[in-house]
Amino acid sequence: MATRSLSVPRPGRQVRIYADLPHHDETWASFLDRIAAAYKVDRGFLIAQITGQSESSRYAPVQGRLDAELYDGLLEALQVDRERLPNNSRGIAPNSMSTLHRAAYCPLCFLEDLNKQRTPYFRYQWAIPLLTTCTEHQCPLMQWRRVRYADHRILPLTWATDPRSSRLSECTWLEGDLRVIDSVRSRQTDDEMFLCLVRRIEHELIETDIENQTWRETHGSDYALAISMALRLGSIRFHKSAVPLAAHMRPSVGQSCLFGSAPSRRIQTWKQAESIIRTSPLDWRRSVLWFAAAFRYESEKPMPLTNGDFVRTGGEAWLRSLERVTDATAQRYVRRTAEAFAKAHSHHTLINKLKLELTCTY
């Protein structure tokens, strides 16, 4: 798309926008951002031009469906009908990441976009709270560094006007993120051992339907309740000076950007923990998911943690390592969580046994 200029609309004059329509898994916010990049304006100015309003609402994030005035103005500017561009949520649900934390991206997806000579765009899957892995490439998501406000991610101008692989270096951090991904995928570091557990638990927790732009949490899993308890246990602070367990027990990895520490000193209660993940940075969400995976799956060999310990995940060894760093209050929740996993495991084993017996009978 060549760079064009947006002029202030006058009475009886319509703004005309030349742009490719959104990709099947692209969010509305991403679509508006790449149009804004192509016209060398910010999203607030673009929306003001489309709707004919002032820029007073320029900092308002885009949530799910577009409001009626913006949607109608966008259809007119693009000169398309509602059938070609329906006003659906495009994968953004009420329980998606808060707009202040929708900055995750997959470097391999962006590289693939540039290789196909299309402007890199943000997928709705990257706004799912319990996903820190790209569903396409199975690599860890990284943090997009240039955000102006709310969910407005700023792309290099040349990516919007002349996207191609030779423009990769226009983003100063993308090549570094690609090197991190390459080291993990080639198993050059211990990171892959930890990330494997994170991927397993994400697959168990989330189902995505890319073509229909939907996703859901798989509450039907035998382990869903136990995993939910583990996520809470890892993310909350039991008293003012406490460090959340997921921060204390997080992996010691070569790529320190992958697993982060707790972002805030606020005390979180057991009930409040439901909303913590949705408003947390990417690296901290990955740490909490790993903590839950450490309850769920047993590792073949001891894993190094930032507190200096080497522990096996799952089973008694994991519980003993937790009890050494917790007080009486926290230990109660540790035992409750362990009991929930034991109950889920018994139920899962029984169901599989019944299925086997039925299969043998018929």
177 in the same domain as 34: yes
Q: 324 is in which domain, residue-wise?
A: 224-352
Q: Which of 185, 213, 247 is the last residue of a domain?
A: 185
172 in the same domain as 42: yes
Residue 113 lies in a domain: yes
- Kindly give the confidence (pLDDT) of every residue in the chain, 362 residues in length, as a single tens digit, with 9 standing for 90 and above: 444 444 444 444 567 888 889 998 999 999 998 898 888 888 888 888 888 776 555 556 787 888 888 899 899 999 999 999 999 999 898 888 888 888 899 999 999 999 999 999 999 999 999 999 999 999 999 999 888 776 788 888 889 888 999 999 989 999 999 999 988 877 656 677 889 899 999 998 888 888 888 888 876 577 888 888 898 888 888 776 678 888 888 888 776 778 988 877 666 666 666 667 788 889 999 999 999 999 889 888 888 888 888 888 887 888 888 888 888 888 888 888 888 888 888 866 655 555 444 555 54
Closest CA to 103 of 148, 58, 46: 148
35 in the same domain as 178: yes
270 in the same domain as 152: no
Residue 152 lies in a domain: yes
Q: Do 100 and 151 form a contact (C-beta atoms < 8 A)?
A: yes
How many domains are contained in the chain? 2
Residue 267 lies in a domain: yes
41 in the same domain as 145: yes
101 in the same domain as 229: no
Residue 17 lies in a domain: no
C-alpha 228 chain-centroid distance: 17
Residue 209 lies in a domain: no
Residue 104 lies in a domain: yes
Residue 304 lies in a domain: yes
60 in the same domain as 128: yes
SS3 241: coil
Question: What pairs with residue 305 in β-bridges?
Answer: 251
147 in the same domain as 59: yes
Q: Do 35 and 153 form a contact (C-beta atoms < 8 A)?
A: no
Q: Which of 185, 206, 240 is the last residue of a domain?
A: 185
269 in the same domain as 138: no
Rounded Cα distance between 72 and 68, Å, is 6
235 in the same domain as 171: no
Q: Which of 166, 185, 204 is the last residue of a domain?
A: 185
163 in the same domain as 48: yes
Paired sense of beta strands 303-304 and 214-217, if any: unpaired
246 in the same domain as 173: no
Phi, psi for 17 (deg, rounded to 5): -120, 135
1 exposed, middle or buried (CB, 10 Å; 0-12, 13-18, 19+)?
middle
Helix axes 282-296, 328-361, angle to 10 degrees: 60
Q: Do 191 and 254 form a contact (C-beta atoms < 8 A)?
A: yes
Residue 212 lies in a domain: no
